[in-house]
């Protein structure tokens, strides 16, 4: 296995090394091998060099089997020197788009022992959000007219293609079959977005006929946000658009214990280019360098990566260890209400593997 390692900025540089410790342990235990190539890209690298992500580096990264990614974001020491959104657009979104990582996969599971805003409801849940990852409002289509005048006009155009929609919906159904899920719910806004989301609905209605064993449902996105809070166990697999997926996956992170528990995969199912696995907490510059960032989302991302790379026993072992880890409050880092440091959480995880 050839892995590209991009720690990025802030706490990305703290949690990715811990994820690599866990990966090395699993490789020894389950007798698989891998090589790593480190890449320095992020806000700090941009401030030092003026470079975000060169074409040559992207080509190299694409040739790996997978990417383990930390976080990128504006460096507080030089945020005024970095155009808004430049780092995210030129590094993270560029890899998603140009490597055709058209699936953003977000497991949303409440592990026993993890504090949640839903605790008083006594509910558990385990669902997966399949977010379209290379179209929609994030394509950068649009522009300004009469910018910085009283008559300014801004256009942001949603890009929705039959091919893009169909492949994401079909992936969601195939995922349900593979992981013994019972229902796929389409989340969109068909009553208002009557063109783009009509295409989503028509494609969904056609494709579901190929999967008669899987139940289906449809929710408007605003209803979905309510149901995720009031009855999250109603969901099994959600398939949705790029922007709506961005929103509801962060709501999913909040109810599963916070961003420190949220893993993700940016998947190219064809495997023609590298898929990318990342914790979604961002660079968190306010806590960077203090030693108490939660590495669990990184470990869960490593487990997703191992599953994707067909190291299933190792992935299962890591997921099991994390489930045991969080049962003991002494292993909880600060975002879960505990005092365990980043390295202490890692040590406890290694002891459980």
Can you say how many angstroms the Cα of residue 324 is from the centroid of all Cα atoms in its chain? 23
State pLDDT tens for residues 69-123: 999 976 666 556 888 788 889 999 999 999 999 999 999 999 999 999 986 656 6
Which structure tokens are listed for 62? 């694409």
Print pLDDT tens along the chain (353 aa): 999 999 999 999 999 999 999 999 999 999 999 999 999 999 999 999 999 999 999 999 999 999 999 999 766 665 568 887 888 899 999 999 999 999 999 999 999 999 999 866 566 899 999 999 999 998 889 999 999 999 999 999 999 999 999 999 999 999 999 999 999 999 999 999 999 999 999 999 999 999 999 999 999 999 999 999 999 999 999 999 999 999 999 999 999 999 999 999 999 999 999 999 999 999 998 899 999 999 999 999 999 999 999 999 999 999 999 999 999 999 999 999 999 999 999 999 999 99
Based on the residue annotation, tell me whether 126 is a catalytic residue of this protein: no
How many CB atoms neighbour CB 256 within 10 A? 24
Catalytic residue among 222, 290, 312, 328: 222
Closest CA to 9 of 49, 35, 50, 39: 39
* Cβ atoms of residues 168 and 130 within 8 Å: yes
Based on the residue annotation, tell me whether 250 is a catalytic residue of this protein: yes
* Cβ atoms of residues 70 and 278 within 8 Å: yes
Catalytic residue among 9, 100, 236, 246: 246
Residues with Cβ within 8 Å of 108's Cβ and at least 6 positions away in sequence, in order, are: 125, 126, 127, 128, 129, 232, 235, 249, 252, 253, 255, 256, 262
Read off the pTM: 0.95
Q: Coil, strand, or helix at residue 105?
A: strand
Catalytic residue among 250, 290, 328, 329: 250
Based on the residue annotation, tell me whether 29 is a catalytic residue of this protein: no
Q: Are strands 183-188 and 215-220 parallel, antiparallel or unpaired?
A: parallel
Catalytic residue among 189, 235, 236, 335: 189
How many CB atoms neighbour CB 54 within 10 A? 11
Catalytic residue among 39, 138, 175, 235: 138
* Cβ atoms of residues 344 and 351 within 8 Å: no
Q: Coil, strand, or helix at residue 155?
A: strand
Radius of gyration of the chain (CA): 20
Ordered domains of the chain (ranges, CATH): 1-101+269-353 (3.40.718.10), 117-255 (3.40.718.10)
Based on the residue annotation, tell me whether 100 is a catalytic residue of this protein: no
Based on the residue annotation, tell me whether 222 is a catalytic residue of this protein: yes
- With 0-12 CB in 10 A as exposed, 13-18 as middle and 19+ as buried, what is 55? exposed
Q: Are strands 263-267 and 275-279 parallel, antiparallel or unpaired?
A: antiparallel
């Amino acid at each position: 296995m050839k892995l590209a390692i991009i720690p990025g900025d802030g706490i990305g540089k703290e949690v990715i090394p811990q994820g690599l410790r866990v990966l090395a342990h699993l490789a020894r235990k389950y007798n698989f091998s891998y090589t790593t190539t480190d890449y320095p890209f992020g806000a700090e690298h941009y401030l030092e060099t003026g470079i975000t992500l060169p074409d040559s580096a992207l080509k190299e990264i694409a040739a790996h089997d997978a990417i383990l990614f930390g976080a990128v974001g504006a460096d507080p020491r030089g945020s005024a020197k970095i155009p808004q959104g430049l780092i995210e657009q030129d590094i993270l979104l560029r890899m998603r788009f140009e490597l055709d990582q058209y699936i953003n996969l977000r497991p949303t599971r409440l592990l026993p022992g993890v504090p949640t805003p839903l605790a008083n409801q006594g509910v558990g849940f385990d669902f997966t959000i399949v977010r379209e990852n290379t179209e929609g409002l994030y394509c950068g289509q649009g522009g300004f007219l009469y910018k910085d005048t009283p008559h300014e006009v801004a256009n942001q155009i949603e890009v929705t293609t039959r091919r893009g929609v169909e492949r994401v919906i079909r992936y969601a159904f195939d995922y349900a079959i593979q992981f013994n899920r019972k229902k796929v719910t389409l989340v969109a806004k068909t009553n208002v977005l009557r063109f783009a989301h009509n295409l989503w609905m028509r494609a969904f209605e056609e494709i579901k006929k190929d999967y008669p064993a899987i139940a289906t449902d449809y929710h408007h996105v605003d209803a979905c946000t309510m149901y995720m809070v009031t009855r999250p166990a109603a969901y099994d697999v959600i398939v949705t658009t790029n922007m709506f997926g961005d929103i509801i996956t962060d709501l999913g992170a909040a109810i599963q214990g916070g961003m420190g528990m949220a893993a993700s995969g940016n998947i190219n199912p064809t495997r023609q280019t590298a898929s990318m696995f990342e914790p979604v907490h961002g660079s968190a510059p306010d806590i960077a360098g203090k030693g108490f960032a939660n590495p669990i989302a990184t470990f869960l991302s490593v487990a997703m990566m191992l599953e994707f790379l067909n190291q299933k026993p190792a992935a299962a072992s890591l997921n099991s260890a994390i489930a045991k880890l969080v049962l003991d409050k002494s292993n909880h880092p600060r975002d879960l209400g505990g005092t365990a440091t980043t390295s202490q959480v890692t040590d406890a995880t290694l002891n459980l593997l």
